[in-house]
Amino acid sequence: MPLVAALALAFVLLALISGAAYIVVLAGATGTAERLLVDRAARVVDAQVALVRSRLDPVGEQLELIASLAAAGRIDIESPVDVREALAVMMGQVPAVSAVGFATLDLKLHRAVREPDGRVRRDTISLVDQPQGMERFRQLQTSQHTFWGALFWSQSIKQPVVNVRTPVRRIDNAFIGGLIATVAVGDLSYLIGDQSRGGDGRYFILVGRDKVLAHRRLIDPRGLGLSEDKPLPTIKEVGDPVLANIWDSPVRSRRIDHALGDYGHVVDAEGRHWVFVYREIRRYGPDPWLVGQYYPLEEATGDLDRLTNGAIVGAATLAVAIVLAVLMGLSMARAIRTITSAAESIERLEFEHPLHKRSRLREIDDAGQSLDKARGALKWFGAYVPLRLVFRLMELGEGAVVSRRRDVTVMFTDIVGFTPQAEDLPEQETADMLNHHFALLGACIDQDQGVIDKYIGDCVMAVWGGLSKMEDHADHAVHAALEMARVIREDNQQRAADGKTPVRLRVGVHSGPVVVGNIGAPGRVNYTVVGDTVNVAQRFEQLGKEFMREGEDVIVLVSGDTIAAMKHPEVLGELPKPELRHVKGREEPEQVYRLV
């Protein structure tokens, strides 16, 4: 298909699809706006549920932690001082807790209580003297898991609290005590009504169907007559006429009912339709909590008007854009055809005439100029190379890289005793250990601009200065070896803490001339380094067997040639005296520096 015809067809299809999309948008605009309203409210309510959970769930988790420590004997429950200190530490970890206590079998309650000024008071009282103290203790004795009790009024802080209880049982399931913590819920009205979290004053938390736990009216509960007998007001008592009608007969709407599903309904109150969106939580006591918000349904009208106006403006804009796109497409098609013709001329190696024609489109003009420069370069290339060879290169791609001699630094590493160690490990653990080990070494090599040439079993061969000329290749290689020693030691500390066998590593480093290039058969080559320098580096790693002592994690042996090749050997400080060792393949002994 010609390019002009393809562009025209694309623009026609774009117009048809866009027109159909606008018709669908206009037809469903009302339902879309209503769903967006509900979705916004649902996201806010979900965030408020998450806020409630983030405030209360850590309390139960901390109680279970203390219970496990006490059951394991890590907290001396026979020592009231130790128990109270542990409870005080928990209060520091969870600021929402107003009081926490440990009830023991001698009917004593060791407590930590947060005072109004923020200080934590520690004391011990008798369970018998506490209201419902014995009843709650018996509930703990018969329970196997953490549970939340009913709301009750706290006379000391003048607000309702929820309580969570955890039995403490030894490993044989013997009951040795119980933990109870209370959390003041008065400030939930502040938290879920915070505008930074999406609250706007139309929020609520109900206990059951008619008790109000959080509401803007409860920010200052004076005048509601709350007490031990009535810790929470009802929906009729908070002065919110919309909330008071939450359980009236719902207003039925097919679209809004479908959007809300089981998470809300619409009621008629104060002459308007109100959308209630809520979520139920069933874990903080015997009665479920209902966290929600409500919005006037009419708020969707503004979004609907804006959507309709936007659709009209968009349709007009699309019509103008199609006309401009067709004109620009014709111009682009002519320019692209020029570039295509130029590329075809280069493919045919026709270089006699200039290919570039000016274009008002920058990218196309740049592409044309680049093709013209390529034409000039290939014209000179064709003057020196037979055209048949050029055609062959164009057909098969880039040939083998020309080999060259270069001074580099080569490193070999090897894990001591890896073979017998691997025989005692499952296959996956062996692979995981090697992957982790190679990741540590690879990071050190990469950071010092080295290149991993190959992996040989549990060995690593790395090269500095092979891909490109590097004046300080020896400095980078030595620094990488020292970094390897550091990270291996740190990793062995963690392995020891995990009960694993430490990894012992030998590292050998040598510098000298090598041949760099693609080595191998035509169908399978490696870009690598070969030469005596590689062999000597491997011999230095093997020399580590003579130098490494029992219990050492890492040994790094560096040749005298590497030290001599370093541009800044002074960074190593005072070097140890080198030892002379005969290396296979060398007539003269080599200087061996042990850096680690």
Give 136-184 as a 3 state SS string.
HHHHHHHCCCCEECCCEEECCCCEEEEEEEEEEECCCCCEEEEEEEEEE
Percent of the chain, pLDDT > 70? Answer: 78
Cα–Cα distance for residue pair 438/63, rounded to 1 Å: 42
Who has greater pLDDT, 376 or 486?
486
Among 196-210, 315-329, 345-359, 504-518, the least confident range: 345-359
Query: For residue 5, what pLDDT is reported?
Result: 65
Cα–Cα distance for residue pair 588/559, rounded to 1 Å: 13
Q: At residue 378, does pLDDT exceed 70?
A: no
> Residue ranges per domain, the chain?
75-184, 323-396, 404-594
384's CB contacts (< 8 A; 6+ apart) are none
Instruction: Give the full edge-to-edge strand order of the sheet including 211-214.
Output: 211-214, 203-207, 289-296, 272-281, 264-269
Token pair of 566 as six digits? 């370093």
pLDDT band at 268 (very low <50, low <70, confident <90, very high): very high
Residue tagged 């969106």 (tokens): 277
Task: Encode burial over 217-247: b for 16+ CB neighbours within 10 A, e otherwise.
Answer: bbeebeebebeeeebbbebebbebebbbbbe
Packed helices 3-27 and 299-347: angle between N→C axes, nearest 10 degrees? 170
Cα–Cα distance for residue pair 311/574, rounded to 1 Å: 78
The pLDDT of 106-115, averaged and rounded, is 92
Among 159-163, 370-374, 474-478, 576-580, the least confident range: 370-374
Task: Encode burial over 63-83: b for 16+ CB neighbours within 10 A, e otherwise.
Answer: bbebbeebbeeebebeebeeb
576-591 confidence digits (pLDDT tens): 899 999 888 788 899 9
Cα–Cα distance list, 531 to 462, 519, 558 (Å):
14, 12, 18
pLDDT band at 305 (very low <50, low <70, confident <90, very high): low
Contact 31, 349 (CB under 8 A): no
Token pair of 80 as six digits? 């009231």
Contact 60, 94 (CB under 8 A): no
Please give the helix or strand (H or E) that residue 407 lies within, else none.
Answer: strand 404-415
Q: Which CATH class is domain 404-594?
A: alpha beta
Cα–Cα distance for residue pair 299/200, rounded to 1 Å: 14
Does the fold of domain 404-594 match that of domain 75-184?
A: no
- Torsion angle of the four alpha carbons 352, 357, 362, 368, in this order, in degrees rounded to the nearest 10: -20
Total residue length of the chain: 596
Packed helices 29-71 and 80-93: angle between N→C axes, nearest 10 degrees? 160
232-265 confidence digits (pLDDT tens): 999 999 989 999 999 999 988 766 777 777 788 8
Who has greater pLDDT, 476 or 332?
476
Dihedral sign (CA 196, 201, 206, 209):
negative
Q: At residue 3, does pLDDT exceed 70?
A: no
Short-list 453, 471, 470, CA closest to 462: 453
Query: For residue 333, what pLDDT is reported?
Result: 67
Residue tagged 């936007």 (tokens): 310
Among 261-265, 460-464, 492-496, the least confident range: 261-265
Q: How many CA atoms lie within 13 A of 239 on its CB side?
A: 8
Query: For residue 218, what pLDDT is reported?
Result: 87
Q: Is 211 helix (H, G, I), strand (E, B) or coil?
A: strand
Token pair of 299 as six digits? 């708020």
Token pair of 344 as six digits? 């075809």
Cα–Cα distance list, 204 to 40, 224, 231, 480, 567 (Å):
16, 16, 16, 61, 72
Short-list 197, 204, 188, CA closest to 292: 204
Tell which phi-psi region holds residue 51, choosing left (phi > 0), alpha (psi between -120 and 50) or beta. Answer: alpha
Short-list 407, 588, 405, CA closest to 512: 407
Among 82-86, 386-390, 461-465, 545-549, the least confident range: 386-390
Question: Residue 308's Cα: distance from chain center in Å?
Answer: 40
Q: pTM of the prediction?
A: 0.47
The CA-based angle 510-511-513, given to 5 degrees, is 135
Question: Residue 98's Cα: distance from chain center in Å?
Answer: 34
pLDDT band at 25 (very low <50, low <70, confident <90, very high): low
Cα–Cα distance for residue pair 359/338, rounded to 1 Å: 10
DSSP, res 197: G
Q: Is 222 helix (H, G, I), strand (E, B) or coil?
A: coil
Contact 495, 501 (CB under 8 A): yes
Query: For residue 392, what pLDDT is reported?
Result: 42
- Torsion angle of the four alpha carbons 523, 524, 529, 531, in this order, in degrees rounded to the nearest 10: -80
51-98 confidence digits (pLDDT tens): 889 889 999 999 999 999 999 989 999 999 999 999 999 988 888 898
The third-level CATH classification (topology) of the domain covering 75-184 is Beta-Lactamase (3.30.450)
Contact 240, 202 (CB under 8 A): no
